[in-house]
Structure 1
Amino acid sequence: MGALLSSYFRHIRGERESFPWRLLAPLGWLVEASSRARNFSYDHGLSASREMPIPVVSVGNITHGGTNKTPFVEMLARVFVDAGLRPGIVMRGYGRKQKGCLLAGECEPSRDLLGDEALLLSGRLGGVPIAVSADRAGGVLRLAGEGVDIAIADDGFQHRKMGRDVNVVLIDATCPFGNGRLMPAGMLRENPGSLERAHMVVITKADQVAKGRVEEISAAIRGITGEKPFLSSLALAGWSRFLDPREGLEECPPPALPAAAFSAIGNPHSFGSFLEQLGFPVVFHEIFRDHHIFTESELAAIGGKMTSLGARSLICTEKDIFNLPPDWSPAVPVYVPRVHAVLADGDSFFAALALHLRPRVVVASNGHGEDAIGSLLAERLQSRFPLFEVSGFPLVGRGQEYRSRSVRVLSPPSETPSGGVVKYSLRDLIRDIRSGLFRHIEAQAEAWSGLRGRLRTVLCVGDVYLFLHSLWGQGAMPVLLATAKSERLHGHWGLEKWLLKRRCRRVFTRDPETARELSERKADAVFKGNPIMDLAGEAVGKPGGHRPFGVLLLPGSRERAYDDLGLLLGAAEVIALEEDCRFEMVVASTLERERLLEKAPSWRVDSPDVIRHEKGKPEVRLFSGEVSRAASRSDILIGLGGTANQICAGMGLPVVSIDEKGKRVQKKLLGEAESLVTADPVSLAREALAILGDPARHERMSRAGMERMGGGGALEAVIEYAYRTLGWEKRQEVCRVFGAYVEKNSGRTGSELEEHGDDRSW
């Protein structure tokens, strides 16, 4: 290595400040600004990152230079094989001349085709598929097509287009951060703060520095990640002698002393230190740039220097063998130390790795009806994927629907006067803003940021606002179960269609017309059933026309339900004067029953679930279960809800509601199934009685509702999509197999494994 280049490397490693190289500082600042902008773009979904169809463990670093990635990748591959899994490796193939994705076993073992590191690993890991591709995501897809169970991405930390399940970052103990600047002013590839993205950090070459220095580096890393890093080092497995390019390496005794060395690796100084630890101090060490292709004249010069200094043998790394001239035969013995990575606490490392390979799934929703759908989806996911950790992220309320199904809620509470995200009233929106709407949004964004990089694909139940909320919050492309927008109304805006095309994995629509429209705009959109009707379950509507009629009352789930209660009970009073009916009211989980009944002073509580008018009749049964169950025993609905009204219409109940902006929008969806009248008890009662008294009209409205809403099936389609396309089937199997392997080999229980995991976000 020339004096100028040597001076530069000492500068970027922080060993000696040199004036000419200080002038590179502004370039380092520009690179850092670019790196921060790029990470911001991926953190917030401006750049696309998507989940791979098989689990991915990325092994990377934040510096230019050797951090022992190759032996660490080899160690992981061997452990996965030992666990009964079929791993594959994807790597860039630095220095190769061939473009595209190649499998090491399907082409000539040439450096020009594969690169030196791929050749090294393919020789040491027979049977492990190795994909060489600058596009790591494309390489993982190729491995998935080869039947691989889990992919190890070599040098994948900065390749953020490729989703990953675990980020392992290696830090070189002998030169952890260089001079603290980014290339070309330093050796950093990105700021050390980026270690926040890492699930696990490993300090390599920990045996080559003093214990106090290791503790100092550990403290610095822990200050960023909040977790103690693991330690690793290299161990000697044996010696090999290089014969010639055709015969390759053969095992042999250690080399004779005195010895010399040459290398072209990322951190040649640590190679020299490693040889000294083995008891082989070299008389000289000729250093070349990483991945350097040697010439015969360079090797002849090294041989001449050996002769002049009396060296009897020559030592290089195994990677250097693949960069020797194709027809070169050594005039002196050339030896290679075969090394492997060793962890200081392997049990803890693999326990943590098993925990991070356990998939974490979030179902997000924005509205009471959407929460009902989302919580049902989460419950079914828990049943289908018992090893997964499934959580809910409702944007509105406190997540009662999720909690009622024993689903953990990750989002902070968000309660506003309107009870949701306002679409139809500027006045209500202003009230929500004054009550702290923006603070709620900020708190939710903060909650998302804590989950960033630690989730599988987020499943959104709601509208494009929720989709964008999730995308901006955690960065990865979500799946959208679209319950709001429909071509039967005004459809999605042009900008919404563009966003869904570019940043949504798949849209499951509520009707076939919307799926066709989005597909024509090149979005991945399908119709597999109306998600709202999945809430109906197996319930079947009661045939109409038989007395006593069942009248279902729905005050809704938002704050205004307390004020609207009198409207519904007043309608029940009027109906009871003319027709003997059974009245039942569904009280949403978001409502407080005692507060609700305070709004009905002329009604008394007969029993915990029955209220009666002070004049003796009617009586109204209160029900806090699923709307579909109450609808199955009713003949008509007087409803002020949103999703609940649609469920009832889809089950064949004629719907009577009030004439206001939101309900007029809903009527475009329900058509003849819904009748809108003036917002007063008498008008509601008269319309309900008219429908009940006209069997033909009742039948038309019933049939229209079922035709308009269609059947369910969307939730099972989403689960099947995740199972097959998103690779959750494979993740469940890998989690089961590797978790059992770790427990068997470490003697730890499942709860003990969790003690070693990263609990910052969970």
Structure 2
Amino acid sequence: MFLINAWYNKAGWLIVLRPLSLLFSWLASRRRQKQQAALRQASPQHTAVPVIVVGNIAVGGTGKTPLVLALSRALHDRGITAGVLSRGYGGRAPQYPFVVNADSQVLHTGDEARLLRRHSAGPMVVDPERSRGLQALIETGRCDVVISDDGLQHYRLRRDIEIVVVDGTRGLGNGWCLPAGPLREPPARLAQVDYVVINGANRAFSEDTLSAGDTSVTTMRLIPAYWVNVKTGERADVQALPVPDAIRHDMHALAGIGNPQRFFDTLDELGLAVTCHPYADHHAYNAVELAFARDKVLLMTEKDAVKCESFAGDHWWSLIVSAELAQGFTEAFCDQVTHILARRQHDAQQQQ
């Protein structure tokens, strides 16, 4: 957390790491160029179904998973079935590629994949080797397109559309690559993708600072939808959290996501006074460390909740959110996917 705070607060001492950042940036660009050259020489030149990559250039969470779900639903409304591909971070499956079903254990899938499976209609596969996982998804014969949750830097994965999500509060930090800054690739990478989506309309920076060039820049907002009791599955209105008066004065909240403060700020906006407990992204909780809240109110994200269901207390609730996208972006994205599908179909007919 110390280094993350330094990146986003633009601490002056990070300048000593700047030479390493320049080396990291050069190596990242070099690796990408080599992988792209290898793909251009390989055959065929495109995958059997279009591939959409939703990723980021900064370490930590930016809101990719809610966007993947929103895009999947938008395509579904157009009659297009999207399969979802995930690395399965934090999980260890019996084998890879691993097809994620409704009853798959979070131990095997990881937290984000478990959450995605819960809300996705199409097939889903996790595999650290994304190209192999993509092939497994295609072989199911049940998807028209594939959306990869993260994987922007997995250059061996062919893709037709690239979407980068940027945290509207933190932006790109000090704009430097690792280790002096939070970036996996230099800011200029944004000018090479199809869309940049800023998560949070009340952003603390201008679009000019993104170096996105002619790339389409749009926004999204995470909207609190409803509460779900982690133990029972009971639903409650987002403005009517059913908390007994006897314990309302001592409520707690945890978040093991890329930017825990985003969740805590949301609770504050909902008028909930809580003691905050930030954890590292993908933290694996256990009953012992959360015993302090056994008989108390404990609020968490859905990503956290999938790892706490087996030992949850009676008053543990997860907040379900949905991504609200700009109408113009949703239409442009779906139109682009429809066009790619039509072109693929035409090419296939020409080859027959």
Q: Same fold (TM over 0.5)?
A: yes
Report the CA distance shift for 1:69/1:152 in structure 2 as closer, same or farther (over 3 A): same
1:29 and 2:9 are equivalent in the alignment: no
Match of 2:55 in 1: 60
Report the CA distance between 1:16 and its aligned residue.
Answer: 5.5
The answer on 1:194 being equivalent to 2:189 is yes
Check if 1:41 corresponds to 2:34: yes
Aligned with 2:212 (options 204, 219, 224): 224
Shift of 1:93: 0.4
Q: Does 1:285 align with 2:276?
A: yes
Matched, 1:263 2:255: yes
CA contact (8 A) 1:295 1:325 kept: no
C-alpha distance in 2, partners of 1:7/1:41? Answer: 34
CA distance in 2, matches of 1:219, 1:133: 36
- 1:496-535 residue pairs with structure 2 within 5 A? none
Alignment length, in residue pairs?
339
Cα distance in structure 2, aligned partners of 1:323 and 1:723: 48
Q: Percent identity?
A: 29
CA-based RMSD of the aligned residues comes to 2.8
Distance in 2, matches of 1:359 and 1:199, equals: 15
Look up the SS of the partner of 2:162 in the other structure: strand
Aligned-partner SS, 1:229: strand
Query: What is the alpha-carbon distance in structure 2 between the residues aligned to residue 26 and residue 79 of structure 1?
Result: 44
Is the 2:193–2:215 Cα contact (8 Å) retained in structure 1? Answer: no
Residue 318 of structure 1, CA deviation: 0.5
CA offset digits 1:674-720 (Å, max 9, x no partner): xxxxxxxxxxxxxxxxxxxxxxxxxxxxxxxxxxxxxxxxxxxx955
What is the TM-score with the length of structure 2 in the denominator? Answer: 0.86
Paired residue secondary structure (2:257)? coil
- Unaligned runs of 5+ residues in structure 1 are 1-5, 361-384, 389-455, 457-717, 725-762
TM-score under structure 1 length normalisation: 0.42
RCO (CA 8 Å, sep 6+): is it higher in 1 or 2?
A: 2
Query: Which of 81, 101, 112 in structure 2 is aligned with 1:105?
Result: 101
SS in 1 for 2:252: strand
* CA distance in structure 1 between the partners assigned to 2:46 and 2:350 by the alignment: 11
CA distance in 2, matches of 1:196, 1:358: 23
CA distance in 2, matches of 1:722, 1:55: 18
Q: Is 1:164 aligned with 2:159? A: yes
- Distance change >3 Å, CA 355–CA 124, structure 1 → 2: closer
Alpha-carbon deviation of 1:722? 7.1
Secondary structure (helix, strand or coil) at the match of 2:288 reads helix
Conservation of the 8 A alpha-carbon contact between 1:12 and 1:185:
yes
Q: Cα 1:720–1:55, aligned 2, differ >3 Å: closer, same or farther? A: closer
Residue pair 1:58, 1:157 contacting (<8 A) in 2 also: yes
- One-letter code of the match for 1:335? W
Aligned pairs (5 A) from 1:5-24: 6-13=1-8, 15=9, 17=11, 19=13, 23-24=16-17
Amino acid at match of 1:143: L
Of 257, 264, 267, 1:272 maps to: 264
CA contact (8 A) 2:230 2:308 kept: no
Q: Which residue of 1 aligns with 2:144?
A: 149
1:240–1:336 Cα contact (<8 Å) kept? yes
Structure 1 position 279, deviation (Å): 2.2
Counterparts of 1:328-477 in structure 2 under 5 Å?
328-330=311-313, 333-343=315-325, 345-346=326-327, 348-357=328-337, 388=343
Q: 1:69: which partner in 2? A: 64
Per-residue deviation, 1:723: 5.3
Per the alignment, in what secondary structure is the counterpart of residue 321 of structure 2? strand
In structure 2, do the counterparts of structure 1 residues 255 and 287 end up closer, same or farther at CA, with 3 Å as the change threshold?
A: farther
Change (3 A) 1:251 1:129: same
Alpha-carbon deviations, 1:437-484, whole Å to 9, x = none?
Answer: xxxxxxxxxxxxxxxxxxx8xxxxxxxxxxxxxxxxxxxxxxxxxxxx
> Which residue type is aligned with residue 178 of structure 1?
G
The verdict on how the C-alpha distance between 1:297 and 1:723 changes in structure 2, with shifts beyond 3 A counting, is farther
| 1:22 CA drift (Å) | 5.5
Are residues 324 and 357 of structure 1, via their aligned partners in 2, closer, same or farther at CA, if it must alter by over 3 Å?
A: same
User: 1:42, 1:48 within 8 Å by CA — same for their partners in 2?
Assistant: no
In structure 1, the residue corresponding to 2:261 is in which secondary structure?
helix
State the SS of the aligned residue for 1:52: coil
1:295 and 1:23, CA in 2 relative to 1: closer, same or farther beyond 3 A?
Answer: farther
Q: Which runs of 5+ in 2 are unaligned?
A: none
Instruction: Decide which structure has the larger Cα Rg and report it.
Output: 1
Name the CA shift for 1:337/1:46 in 2 (closer, same or farther; >3 Å). closer
Which one has the bigger helix percentage? 1
| Residue 139 (1) aligns with residue 121 (2) | no
Matched with 1:300 is 291
